[in-house]
Amino acid sequence: MLNSEKSQVSLRLPTSLVSEFDRIAAILERDRTWVMQKALSQYLATEGAEILADAQGLDELDRGDSVDLEDVLEKARAIVNAAEYRRRTRVG
């Protein structure tokens, strides 16, 4: 871990889940805490990051920091039309 600060966390988990962590830890010759930290880090890098990004987007919308969909579609159509025109003039 990059951050040397630690916090004690206590949680209740199903016995079967703890057993899976223990099995993985034994295979890797690591302790359960290390395996759980890896699992939590992976979660934060994937699903957790997606949740945070969604929340940030919702915050931006709440503040009015958005772009009208019709403006975006108009720009996209202009880009596509220009690309099609360039393709036609090169081929023809």
Lowest mean pLDDT among 23-27, 35-39, 65-69, 84-88: 65-69
Residues whose CB falls within 8 Å of the CB of residue 24, separated by 6 or more in sequence, listed in order? 35
Segments making up each domain of the chain, as ranges: 15-90
Say if pTM beats, i.e. exceeds, 0.75.
no
